Chain A
Amino acid sequence: MGRFYWLLLFIATALATHAAYVLYYPGYKFDSQVAAIVGPGRLNKMTLLDQTQIARLFPAYAQSDIVALCRYDLSLGPLEVTAKLPRGYWTFTIFTVKGRQVYSVTDAQAGENAFTVELSQSPDLLAQIKGALDDGGEGEAIGSAGWRVQTPEVKGIAVVWVPVSDPIFRPVTLAAVQNSACKRKS
């Protein structure tokens, strides 16, 4: 009986450590790493990334692509992300602080190049708990070019990615992405 107790303790400790390392630890580490790369004071603000920042943060994007990032914290209330992008391929993606993608829209899915996304934390406690285990994000259309998205976690990042198909269009694309905004909803 005594040995069985120690075996149970060993298994429970191993499972708890495994789950904590996979599900919770990355989130704590990731937020501080993003803050260090984007720079201090950039919370709830859209930041246009330079080539070094893109290379550090996004293994899937080319350094010549145009990427804007908003590191959000919904603890003080909902946010509103607005963008008016040039015609062509672009994606807007919302990740939680643990790297889970909770919402994504591309130019083809949106049908419009100007959009607004209202971002808030899910009031549903069950969804917040589930957020540690699955995607948990929900999107709901508001108007013809807007969505209301609820995330299971209070922190994360929203990313606008526009690959440049021809360098001649880069200045125009850059100006458009620079006008994207991420701010507290009034």
Chain B
Amino acid sequence: MRGFLHMLFAIVAGVATGWISAVGLIQNYGLESVAANPQWRERRSALDHPAAPYAFGYFVNQGQVPPPLTARHFVRTTDEDGSLFRPECVYLVSGRLPAARRWSIAVSANEQTVSTLGAGEIVYEPDGSVAVYVSAQPLPGNRLSFAGNAAPVLSLTVHDPQVTDVPLVLPGIKRVRC
């Protein structure tokens, strides 16, 4: 009887440990801060990266198709001051985007994409930079809209960047008002 209980405990503890470690690594392993903009974090999914199975699992578990391997995918949950995005605030994404064949920026809440902007549908500033408001309220200009009380998460995907061997410089995100 005692041996059976030991075996049962070892199996239950093993299943729990394996499951918790898998969930934890799927969420966080391979998510690396970008050198030039540490607020942005890149999810590394290159096949030769040890985090690749966890990165695939991250997207697939949410019912999403991972970005193609020719793309680099970045996520961000904080503004320039390091404060978490809040749903009642207005944020401004500004700066230049890396030279690439295509990029798209998206806002998601509760792990669901709610709005996106692609390179072909944005109005650029005269100097070639971008200015995009992230807000639940209507605003003039480029805007990523969202609704609800969940904290928004921003993601940026750069498809076929022209440079692959140097850190990419990504736009900043400032809080405008709350």
Q: Which residues of A contact B (CB under 8 A)?
A: 2, 6-7, 9-23, 26-27, 29-30, 33-34, 37, 55-65, 89, 91, 93, 95, 98-101, 104, 106, 133-135, 157, 159, 161, 163-167
CA distance A17 to B23 in the complex (A): 11
Docked-complex contact A60 and B22, CB < 8 angstroms: no
Interface size on B, residues (CB 8 A): 53
Q: Which of B21, B47, B116, B121 contacts A14 (CB 8 A)?
A: B21
Decide if B14 is an interface residue (CB 8 Å cutoff).
Answer: yes
Within the complex, what minimum Cβ distance (angstroms) separates B22 from chain A?
Answer: 4
Complex A-B, nearest 8 residue pairs according to Cβ-Cβ distance, in ascending order: A13-B14, A17-B18, A62-B118, A60-B67, A33-B63, A26-B60, A18-B18, A21-B22
Q: Which residues of B contact A (CB under 8 A)?
A: 6-7, 9-11, 13-15, 17-19, 21-23, 25-26, 47, 53-54, 56-57, 59-61, 63-71, 73, 101-102, 104, 106, 108, 112-121, 155, 157, 159-160
CB-CB under 8 A from B106, the residues of chain A are 59, 62
7 interchain pairs, CB-CB under 8 A: A22-B53, A30-B60, A56-B113, A63-B116, A89-B102, A95-B65, A165-B120
Docked-complex contact B25 and A27, CB < 8 angstroms: no
Docked-complex contact A61 and B14, CB < 8 angstroms: no
CB within 8 Å for A22 and B26 given contacts A60-B68, A91-B68: yes
Q: Which of A21, A37, A60 contacts B157 (CB 8 A)?
A: A60
CB-CB under 8 A from B108, the residues of chain A are 59
Q: Which of A18, A98, A104 contacts B60 (CB 8 A)?
A: A98
Within the complex, what minimum Cβ distance (angstroms) separates B5 from chain A?
Answer: 10
Interface centre among A14, A60, A64, A161 (most CB of B within 10 A): A60
Docked-complex contact A14 and B69, CB < 8 angstroms: no
